[in-house]
Chains A and B, each alone.
Chain A
Amino acid sequence: EPEVTQTPSHQVTQMGQEVILRCVPISNHLYFYWYRQILGQKVEFLVSFYNNEISEKSEIFDDQFSVERPDGSNFTLKIRSTKLEDSAMYFCASSAGGAVGEKLFFGSGTQLSVL
């Protein structure tokens, strides 16, 4: 069964450093998402991406965050200058379409720890 893959599974960084989280969505999917989950809290939407541009973003997704699809397979989330409160599990997801009712397929996540 096709799956979304994320690397690395764990990332430890110092406050103020830049990190790049990587995702390979399912190959025929067109819509890509980043969500995050702080320990013990709910899964929160960050950003969605379609046709090489951001289609929606949440209030969490401020100027410190950016996304990119540098080639035909990878989808990355960059955090420019990490803060302690960025520590969370970051999930990438993809869907075949962007219509209401489309199911999301999630990667296994990157656990980011900011020290």
Chain B
Amino acid sequence: RKEVEQDPGPFNVPEGATVAFNCTYSNSASQSFFWYRQDCRKEPKLLMSVYSSGNEDGRFTAQLNRASQYISLLIRDSKLSDSATYLCVVNPGGSYIPTFGRGTSLIVHP
């Protein structure tokens, strides 16, 4: 089983839609979780950390479910500029090295 798994998509949604992505991780001892955003052929950029209690930043909400070993990202009121690949990143237990999922592609159309 892969350490970090994501549905590659693409998720094709109209402007204004709400869209959610999940990411599952295999190591139950994983301790920290992030969502990064990557535009085509650019570097990953931190979108938000994911805390146990869940957290929100504007239109973006991240949640962690330790029992089922997944994290989620919810984007409300999608904008054209949200089109990108969203990378799930997990620090596996026993390592400080962030491990990336393959990413979920989001396309927001007019």
Contacts and interface: CB of A to CB of B under 8 A. Distances in A.
Contacts of A105: 46
A91 B101 contact: no
A92 to B, nearest CB: 9
Nearest to B100: A43
B55 to A, nearest CB: 13
B49 A44 contact: no
Contacts of A111: 41
Interface string B1-31: 0000000000000000000000000000001
Contact of A100 (B31, B102, B103): B31
Interface residues on A, range: 20 to 34
Interface residues of B, number: 22
Contact of B97 (A56, A89, A101, A106): A56
Contacts of B96: 48, 55-56, 98-100, 102
Nearest to B48: A103
A103 B47 CA distance: 10
Contact of A42 (B45, B46, B100): B100
Interface in B32-89: 32, 34, 38, 41-46, 49, 87
Contact of A103 (B38, B43, B46, B103): B46
B97 A48 contact: yes
B97 A43 contact: no
3 shortest interchain CB distances as A-B pairs? A106-B43, A43-B100, A101-B32
Interface of A: 33, 35, 41-45, 48, 55-56, 89, 91, 98-109, 111
9 contacts: A35-B100, A42-B103, A43-B100, A48-B97, A91-B44, A98-B96, A100-B96, A104-B44, A106-B43
Given A91-B43, A101-B91, A104-B44, 8 more contacts: A35-B100, A44-B100, A91-B44, A98-B96, A101-B31, A106-B43, A106-B44, A108-B43
